[in-house]
Structure 1
Amino acid sequence: MNQPEEQALLLQATAGDVQAFSALLEKYYTMIYRMAFRWLGNQDDSEDVAQEVCIKLGRSIHGFQANSKFSTWVYKIVLNTVRDFQRKQRNHANIDEISVATNGNTSEQQMHNTQLWQLVQQLPDKQRDAVLLVYAEGLSHSEAANVLDCKESTVSWYIHEAKKQLKALMHHD
């Protein structure tokens, strides 16, 4: 789906067209689930969060303002839903193993990546969110700043601090 097609669907969906909204969900569901899984590391929890995000999108699509990218708005909703879920589960859940697609990597590289993502999960929330948005989701610092509602320089600082902490955590083990 190209940008003009997406814009047309957005206009229709914000006006209440259910089929247009369904087409948007179909386009973004994989991204929503993938992002939830990267934050939560658990299939069932990620599915629950993805479904909750779809409900939230449905309830609020009519209020979407075209002054920002739709994908940025979706990222924000996913991130807030994940944070809400984590707050509810904080006392009950352990961090499960994070698995990251490692196209063609050896099992040793996969193990290192899994260990690295487990360490990322130990970072303070804002640092973890910045790292996952930039490195796991492939957003620019500017796009991540839009999702996190902060300045681009703040995202750069979060990532700088995260790298320092990750180095310390890696040498601590």
Structure 2
Amino acid sequence: MIAYLVLVVVVGLERVAELVVSTRNLAWSRARGGREFGRGHYPAMVVLHVGLLVGCVVEVLVADRPFLPALGWSMFLLVLASQALRWWCISTLGRQWNTRIVVASTVPLVRSGPYRWLRHPNYVAVVVEGAALPLVHSAWITAVGFTVLNTAVLTVRIRAENAALATVTA
């Protein structure tokens, strides 16, 4: 149980690191004329991601969810894979990456790294992590709840991001 709590805290600290990088990159994009799209859904996305971390801990503690080795270790590997994919996306986009949807028409679209194969690879990482992190310790209600709510948020976000990207390619 302690190891799981440490994992959730580490993932939370990783989110803080993302926000530091995002804030720096947001300033860089705005300095180059970056325009933000889809601002309205951002608070819901933040609440959802904080809720994932809180839900992981609360469900395991309150419902006394067990660690099932076959499930737990396989989900842990998926959590690690999702983190690797996320940071591959961040490093590939470089200064263009942030947690908001900001595009500068003077900066070309990135078509390397995971973006060679997928238009939104970071969201693959989000989906996988959102299901896998709770299931490391059998928190299935959190996994299902996050997945359902995340589907709604990502539907809005991907539409907003596609509209933003269309302004660059147009």
Taking structure 2 as the reference length, the TM-score comes to 0.32
Greater RCO between the two (CA within 8 Å, min separation 6)? 2
Q: TM-score, normalised by structure 1?
A: 0.31
